[in-house]
Amino acid sequence: MRRGPQGAVPCCGAWRPSEQTCPGGVRCRRLGCRARSEAPSAVAQASAAPSSAAPQAPAAPAAIRWSDCATKTYPTLQCGTVKVPLDHARPEGRRITLALSRVPHTAKSPLGPLLVNPGGPGGSGLSLAGHVAAALPKEVASRYDVIGFDPRGVGRSEPALDCRPGHFTAVRPDTLPLTPAVERANRERATAFATACGERHGDLLPYLDTRSAARDLDVIRAALGAPRISYLGYSYGTYLGAVYAKLFPERVRRLALDSAVDPDGVWYDSNLAQDYAFEDRHRAFLAWVAKNDAVYGLGADPATVEGAWSRMRAAVAAEPAGKTVGAAELEDTFLPGGYYDGYWPRLATAFAAYAKDGESGPLVAAYRALAESDASGDNGYSVYTAVQCRDAAWPRTWNQWRADTWRVHAKAPFLAWNNTWYNAPCASWPVPPLTPPDVTNTKLPPALILQATGDAATPYEGAVSLHRKLRGSSLVVEEGGGNHGVTLGGNACLDRHLARYLADGTVPRGSGSGEADATCAALPEPKPAAKGAAPDASERAAGQALHGLLPRRG
C-alpha cells in the first residue's frame, strides 16, 4: 500500500484524522484536500518523533506500593506497579503502567535490586523473580530485592497488546510453500497480522522497541530508590540488558547475561542464523531417539529416524493429526526441543506413538503442552513482532525473504520456512524501523556472559561478539551444551559462577589464549521415559522449572 507523509495511509485523497476508519487504521475526514495542514494520525505523529529522540529529564517516579501476591511456589512474592512515559522524549505526556513483582531481601547488608528478564521480546518476568530468588544460594538471594517485571505491552502491564486474537489457531497453512497458493496464504496471514496491529495499537507501536524498554528499567530503578541496579537477563533479555548498560553504564552494579543475542544481527540476520543452529539441535534430537531405539523403536540409525520424521510431517500435512496438528503445528511442537532437551522424552514418545502406531493422542497432547497459543501467547507474539519489527530494518521486498529462506532451507529445512512466516509481519510493518544502538561499552564494571556452545536460539558466536563489545566482561561456556538458558537450571558449575558474581562481582579470567574465560561441562542428555512414566518425566526439576518460565521463541 502506498504510504503518505510520516507513514500515514492515503484516505479521501489526503492525510487527516476523523471518525471514519481507513485502511491501516488511520482515520480521515471527507472534507477536500486541506488535510496536509491538519493533525496527523497517532502513528504518523509517533513516527515523526521516534523514541530514539533524546529524552527529557523525567519527573521522579512515585515510590512503588507493594502488596502481597504470594503463591504456594513463591510464598514471599509481592506485586506492584510503576508508571512510565509512553514516549521517553515527552515524559510529561501519556503514561503507561508496568507490572512488577518482588522477593524482598532479608539480609542486613543488602546489595539493592536485581532485575530479571526471561527474554522474548514479549516474555513475562513476574514469576521469574520467584524462581531466581529460590534457585540462587540463600546467602546470595537474601541480599537482593529480586525484581520481576512485565515490559511495556506485556502481560499484566497496561495497555497489553493483542494484535490479532487467534492468529495461531490450528490448523494453519503448511509452512513449506511448494505451491503459489500456499505461499499466498502464508503471506496474506502475515500481512493481516501487521495490518491488525496497526489498526488496534497504532498509538503504541512507535514506542515498542528495546531502547524504550531499557529506559523503562531506569524508571523502575528510580522508583525503587536505588542509585544502581543489578540485572540478570536470558536470551532477548541479554540484549535489553546490554542496551540499558549502554544508556546508563554508571547505574549498573552487576550485569549477568545468559544465552546472549548477537548485537550485530538484530534482527533479520539473527533469525537466519537461528535456522542453521536449530537444524543442528533437531538432528541431535533425532540422534538421541536413534540411540534409544530400544525404547522408541524408530530405528537405530539417525538417518532412519529422520526418514520417519519426514514421513510423519508429510502425513500430518495431508491430514492433521487429531484434526489439530498439521505440518506447521508439528514444527511448533518439536521446536521447544531445540530450546531444552528436557522435552525430548515427551516429544519422542509422541513421535513414536504416531509414526509406529498411528496414535494421534500423544502428539496432540504434546502440541497442547508445548506449542498451543492461548491469550498469553497471542500477547507475547504481538509484543515480539512489535519490538523486533520496530527495532531494526527488515527487507521490504518479498523476493529477498523468499530467496534467503530457500537458500537456508537447502541446509536447514526443519525451521527455515516456519521461522520466516513467524517474522514475516515485519515485511509490511505499519511503522518505520529505528537504527539499533551500538552496545559497545567501555564504562561498565565487569559483566558476566554465560553460554552453551550448541545453543540454537542464540548461537554461540553471538556471545563471543558481545563479550568483545563489553570491555572487561567474562565469558563462561557450557562446553557441548545445547540448551537455551543455562543458569539456575541445574548445572551446578554455571550456577557457582553466577552466584559468586552476584555476591561480590568476581568473574573468572582466562589465559587470554581462547574466547572463554571458564568452561563448565554440559549436563548429561535426558533419560528416555520409562514405560508407564509421565512422558516428560525428568530428573532435572530445576531445568523444568526454569524452562517453564522462558518464552519458547526468542
455 is catalytic: yes
Nearest Cα to Cα of residue 194 among 17, 399, 388, 376? 388
- Helix/strand/coil for 80: strand
Q: Residue 271 contacts by C-beta under 8 Å, 6 or more apart in sequence? A: 419, 420, 423
Q: What is d(CA 429, CA 384) in angstroms, rounded to the nearest whole number?
A: 13
Which residue type, as a one-letter code, is found at position 118?
P
Angle (deg, nearest 10), helices 327-334 and 302-318: 140
How many Cβ atoms from other residues are within 10 Å of residue 26's Cβ? 27
* Burial of 295: CB neighbours in 10 Å, binned 0-12, 13-18, 19+: middle
How many Cβ atoms from other residues are within 10 Å of residue 100's Cβ? 25
Q: What is d(CA 212, CA 352) in angstroms, rounded to the nearest whole number?
A: 46
Nearest Cα to Cα of residue 379 among 158, 546, 131? 158
Q: What is d(CA 191, CA 197) in angstroms, rounded to the nearest whole number?
A: 10
Mapping DSSP onto H, E and C, the string for 328-364 reads HHHHHHHCHHHHCHHHHHHHHHHHHHHHHHCCCHHHH
Q: What is d(CA 373, CA 482) in angstroms, rounded to the nearest whole number?
A: 25
Q: 258 and 487 in contact (C-beta within 8 Å)?
A: yes
**Measured between alpha carbons, how far apart are the two ends of the chain, in Å?**
30
Q: 97 and 103 in contact (C-beta within 8 Å)?
A: no
- Grid look-up 512510565 returns 84
Residue from 51, 157, 235, 259 carrying the catalytic annotation: 235
Residue from 150, 174, 391, 455 carrying the catalytic annotation: 455
- Helix/strand/coil for 422: helix
235 is catalytic: yes
Catalytic residue ranges? 235, 455, 484
